[in-house]
Structure 1
């Protein structure tokens, strides 16, 4: 009797989880199908589980838009360099803060925590970037965010869970703190490093407001800014879309929107499955110990 109840319960759990998964995946699949559909297929009502005809007109239009290629490369550059710097500086700050015998450790921690709740605001930040000569410079999109206090706290808490006997043994053998960090701490901290890297990559990839404030040269702008400008410029009432000579008979605004969504989120979706196992472990351990 008990086994029967458990079997029924397990079946219901599997059913509801499957239903929830379909509800989550369907909008993504619908967007993918819409991006590869033509105007005739989109204009018909109902669910679209498969396009009537696979076409790449929307993607051709998006990639023919001005500055889209340079903006894509700028976003990749910003994401890669910005993520690497955030992980590097987070490790450099979190490692000493994880030492209970660090002089004035609590004061340093409080100093960092204050910056999470109080900031100078937009105008002081703009004046600071201007005084540093970083206006219209790609570094203005990277340097202001290299020290992320929330990531530092998560990584600090994770490092505090590592057995101190490993470091003590390495110190007895003559290893320095930098060697301990690179040879022992970093290999043991892959979960939290992957977590911080994923947060940083997603943040840099989706950022656009700082590019709007600090960047003037269209060749230095980022993908999200170009996508935003393109969406504002498009209008369904126009018979000709942009300068590509594509009429509404072959392409609708909904096709372009779907294609831009896939182009914008594609790299992050490809990276996330590889980082997920580290992400879950890193955020759980790093959020427990204080």
Structure 2
């Protein structure tokens, strides 16, 4: 007796497709509306009327000029860019090397206990006070390294990369070793070129994590000149602290406090948002292949 295909494998009918399109459009609108509101609010001058409760009748970039004319926001952006760039590179390097070493549990003595230790960190954390005391004893307080070293390797990202490495045929590495390639050459010339998808994915994960690193900066950084953009965003936009320090005196009266706050939100969001389109095509291949073994 012939067996038909599963219901979810059948081509959807016209009504189903219309419902799916409407659902997707609704989700997109709900996701984009808050961001559009923030952008339009940052461009709204004093006294302007709003069309449809969102689009201003007049436009001004005074809030952005006021914010960028000061020292706090540009410096905070540079701090966040530096931490994100350095932290992402170091995290990718250490994560991939650790993952490669843990794929050779039979050849490297002690690698399996190290793997169990890494897995243990996914279940239990040391807690805030022990982490703070450790950072303090290492002399990292008020240092940019306090925002990088404690989160240098993510156990989840390491497992994704390790499982991806395990999918690479063993015959490739065996043939390279027969030809005289060292472990470093196998890693650099075989494993990494074949793992561009998963590396791009974890690099994006790390970059987003470092860019949005607010809590560690709040705990470990007391010098306001070393604040990243997220901590500045919390101080001036969320808590509503006085913004006279970041206002351009020449722009006084031409912008509203809300416009300046929304401009800070946009400047803190757009840089990392621009990275997503370049890594989007790697997501499906990188995450699924690295997360499934067998």
Q: Scaled by the length of structure 2, what TM-score is found?
A: 0.86
**Contact 1:58 1:255 survives alignment (8 Å):** yes
1:72 corresponds to which residue? 77
From 260, 265, 272, the equivalent of 1:261 is 265
Instruction: Classify 1:129/1:174 alpha carbon distance in 2 versus 1 (closer, same or farther; 3 Å).
Output: same
Say which SS state the counterpart of residue 267 (structure 1) adopts: helix
CA-CA distance at 1:25 after TM superposition: 2.3
**Contact 2:83 2:148 survives alignment (8 Å):** yes
1:145 corresponds to which residue? 151
From 25, 32, 39, the equivalent of 2:39 is 32
Q: C-alpha distance in 2, partners of 1:30/1:6?
A: 36
> Is 1:287 the equivalent of 2:291?
yes
CA-CA distance at 1:165 after TM superposition: 1.2
> Is 1:175 the equivalent of 2:190?
no
From 266, 275, 278, the equivalent of 1:274 is 278
Q: C-alpha distance in 1, partners of 2:288/2:246?
A: 48
1:18 corresponds to which residue? 25
Say which SS state the counterpart of residue 160 (structure 1) adopts: helix
Q: 1:73-222 alignment to 2 at 5 Å?
A: 73-99=78-104, 101-102=106-107, 103-222=109-228
- Comparing 12-21 with 178-187, which one deviates more in the overlay? 12-21
Between Structure 1 and Structure 2, how many residues are aligned? 282
**Contact 2:44 2:59 survives alignment (8 Å):** yes
Q: C-alpha distance in 1, partners of 2:140/2:89?
A: 20
1:261-280 deviation line (CA, Å, top 9, x unaligned): 21111111111011011122
**Ranges in structure 2 where 5+ consecutive residues have no aligned partner:** 1-9
**Contact 2:233 2:265 survives alignment (8 Å):** no
Q: C-alpha distance in 1, partners of 2:19/2:99?
A: 44
Instruction: Classify 1:15/1:121 alpha carbon distance in 2 versus 1 (closer, same or farther; 3 Å).
Output: closer
1:205-243 deviation line (CA, Å, top 9, x unaligned): 0112222222222222211111222123447xx9x8975
Q: C-alpha distance in 1, partners of 2:124/2:179?
A: 44
Q: C-alpha distance in 2, partners of 1:47/1:279?
A: 36
**Contact 1:99 1:160 survives alignment (8 Å):** no
Q: C-alpha distance in 2, partners of 1:181/1:156?
A: 12
Instruction: Classify 1:69/1:221 alpha carbon distance in 2 versus 1 (closer, same or farther; 3 Å).
Output: same
CA-CA distance at 1:124 after TM superposition: 2.1
- Comparing 193-202 with 14-23, which one deviates more in the overlay? 14-23
**Ranges in structure 1 where 5+ consecutive residues have no aligned partner:** none
Q: C-alpha distance in 2, partners of 1:156/1:177?
A: 16
**Contact 2:45 2:255 survives alignment (8 Å):** yes
